Structure 1
Amino acid sequence: MQRGRGAGPALVLLLALGICGLQLASAKLTVAEITKDDRSLILVAEPFGFSEDGRMNITVSDFMLWSPGEVKKNGPYDRVGFFVTTPAVEGQLELDLAEGKCPLDSQDIAITLFTFDAIDPKKGSVSREFRLFNMLKDYTGGEFSLFFANCEPDSAIDFTVEVALYNVWGDRFDYLPVGEDMLPFIYFTMFIMFSALGVVWTLMVIRGKQDSHKIHYLMIVLVAFKSLTVLSQAFMYHTISIYGDAEGWNIAFYIFTACRSFLFFLVVILLATGWSYMKPFIAPREKRLLMVVIPLQIIANCAIIYLDEFTPAAESWFTWRDILHLVDIVCCCLVLFPIVWSIKQLRDASETDGKVVRTLVKLTLFRQFYIMVVCYIYFTRIIVYLLESTLPYQYIWMAAAASELATLSFYIASGISFRPMPAGANPYFQLTEEEAIELTKAENEENP
């Protein structure tokens, strides 16, 4: 079909660019290069859940401080350094900066790790390990963000920083934060559940082969790639937990995610337009929607995953994150249009062709599918985000579990609605008594 021609080149280009750039990402072992950055406050590492023996390794090198006119500024550098704080008081930091206060002086809301006075001019670098247990009174664990502060007025900064955040459990290092250490188990459990769903659906399609359509076989492929996606996620997080790096599993995750995103939106749009059920073709406007939405959705999803592997220290990190999430939501809303078009066509048909019963059954089915898609989009794009933002850090894994369970429920509900059935039992092909009589007469005339 022609709909594949628009998505294919974009997908290949995306995967090629992604795989070529994967070496720059380093998961929980963060490497950031800051070049002539004049920001007073830089988020180096997002909130990380530390256990009772939570630790941080920070290595800074190639440090330079520039004053106006591109002239290298000499020390002291006691107003430039790193600190940690809890996510709850991050908003206060911005207020303090607006009032001319330096976060390095705000010991009530921030813990200064070290300033750049500690850098040896001969070596040009400094490496330190910090144990939160030694820095906080009555510490039993918590969630902290790592920031860089430059309180020197009218200056810009150059440096390279390597950060390792991890927890120690006995003699084992765990590079996953508390709350995310459940993710390998969550995703492997979901792999088993999606695989079981794929087996059940495949058996249904095989047993009802005479009543199966092309869309049913496409749904088998979708479930298979979804299973591979969560399996690669399970191994990716397990590897990060041990080594601090995905060790290549992120490449598999990118590929399976791209294929799964392509198939998911393709299946939703084809179901919404009645392809291979009511009609064996795709209308021109539906083809245009496919060629726009699917490549854009794949690029947005993979770019979001790829962006999450980098430190937010880059100036444009937050801007790109917000843009990509907006694109993802817009694409999800666009897939609702084919369902609305189908509902409108069926409503018009019920008023003109006289086949009210059959048309109203189809209309009800499409309305149910519309509600399912809306609920799925609302839950996975908004509710899950709210869960991630509001849950205590120890239970952040529940947001990922809720998202995967919602996806599983959506797949099951869609499968029940569009499962292979005999023509007489299928809502798409249910006939009135009058239509059944006419069909019987036509068959008798063809086969006397």
Structure 2
Amino acid sequence: MSNLNFISTFYPPRHLILHLFSALCIISSIPFSASEIKNTRIIEDSRPMILFERFGFGADGHVAIAIKNVSWKSKQQNSELDPSSMGFFLLRELSYPKILNESEYTDSFCIVSSRYVELIFKFEQLYPDSTYNGSVIVEHPDEYSLVFGNCQPEYEVSMDVHTEMYNVEGGRKDFLPAGQTQLPKLYFLFFLVYTAFFTLWVSVCIKQSPTVDKIHIIMGALLLVKALKLICAAEDKFHAGHS
């Protein structure tokens, strides 16, 4: 009889389990991690540098960028736009001191033309309809920042920007940064470990039901919550890497 009382206490009613499982399915279907596919709207921005995102590239990293609805206007009436003074580039953190030093010893310095950045394209390469669509391969694996540079601060730029940053593994795109590509498998492995511990804990508690207290039930619940958290994290990272 004591075993039956323990089991009825330890296990919630069936309808409650179904509700919790349904809620878990709904929550796990929501993509909490944002993949490296982004759409950004820039409106009348005159900042010399606009940081879009940072990403860790592996041996076969790619950056794809598409812009449209490009327009600009000057704060000064007689200024003339130089399209080569605006553009997108990749920047390593290790390059910051070199660029700073270059700016101090170079006349009319423009970061878009610096030899320490990985240039993607300049505005002089815009199509006649003020759009651009292209991609580049990152030759040197590292963490880079995607930046828009404007060396004519008297001009305010507006545009719609679509960016994709990814590594290619096994012939498919992986939108997780280098170093995180194995996280879905790792999270799933730990989910299996915690599930095994939870199953073992329930088995021990049932066998030792006369001595089981609420603290033991709480410990089992913590194992279950941790296992569910890990499987959700695995699904989340998997979705981010493939979407």
The alignment partner of 2:180 has SS state of coil
The code of the aligned residue for 2:186 comes to: I
1:222 aligns to 2:222 (yes or no): yes
Conserved 8 A contact 2:66-2:132: yes
Deviation of the 1:128 alpha carbon? 0.5
* 8 Å Cα contact 1:47/1:87 also seen in 2: no
Aligned to 2:66: 59
Question: How far apart, in 1, do the equivalents of 2:117 and 2:54 lie?
Answer: 15
Equivalent residue in structure 1 for 2:117, among 106, 110, 122: 110
Per-residue deviation, 1:146: 1.5
- Verify: 1:32 aligned to 2:40, yes or no: yes
Q: CA deviation at 1:101?
A: 3.6
In 2: Cα distance, 1:93 partner to 1:189 partner: 44
Q: Which of 127, 130, 150 is residue 133 of structure 2 equivalent to? A: 127
Distance 2:201 2:31 in 1: 38
- Specify the alignment match of 1:68 in structure 2: 75
For the 8 Å contact 2:47–2:153, the answer to whether it is kept is: no
Q: CA, structure 1 residues 77+175, in 2 after alignment: closer, same or farther (shift >3 Å)? A: same
Instruction: Rate the CA distance shift 1:201–1:25 in 2: closer, same or farther, 3 A.
Output: closer
Aligned to 1:355: none
* More strand per residue: 2
CA contact (8 A) 2:35 2:176 kept: no
Deviation at 1:173, TM superposition (A): 2.5
Q: 1:190 to 1:64 in 2, by over 3 A?
A: same
Task: Please tell me the root mean square deviation across aligned C-alpha atoms, in Å.
Answer: 3.2
What is the correspondence of 1:27-426 to structure 2 with a 5 Å cutoff? Answer: 27-51=35-59, 53-68=60-75, 75-90=81-96, 93=99, 101-107=109-115, 109-122=116-129, 124-133=130-139, 141-241=141-241, 243=242, 245=243
Deviations 1:278-326 (A, max 9, x none): xxxxxxxxxxxxxxxxxxxxxxxxxxxxxxxxxxxxxxxxxxxxxxxxx
Cα 1:98/1:64, change in 2 over 3 Å: farther
Q: After alignment, is 91-100 or 27-36 more displaced?
A: 91-100
Structure 2 letter corresponding to 1:239: H
Structure 2: 5+ residue stretches without partners: 1-26
| Alpha-carbon displacement from aligned partner over 1:244-272 (angstroms, at most 9, x marks no partner) | x2xxxxxxxxxxxxxxxxxxxxxxxxxxx
SS of the equivalent of 1:180 reads coil
Deviations 1:103-131 (A, max 9, x none): 11211x21211112222242x32101112
- How far did 1:46 drift? 0.6
In structure 1, stretches of 5+ residues that fail to align are 1-18, 134-138, 246-448
Q: How many corresponding residue pairs? A: 213
Structure 1 residues 207 and 110: CA distance shift in structure 2, 3 A: same
Change (3 A) 1:173 1:240: same
CA distance in 2, matches of 1:144, 1:50: 11
Normalising by structure 2, report the TM-score. 0.73
SS in 2 for 1:78: helix
Q: CA deviation at 1:40?
A: 1.6
Greater per-residue helix proportion: 1
Once residues 196 and 93 of structure 1 are traced to their aligned partners in structure 2, the CA distance between those partners, rounded to angstroms, is: 53
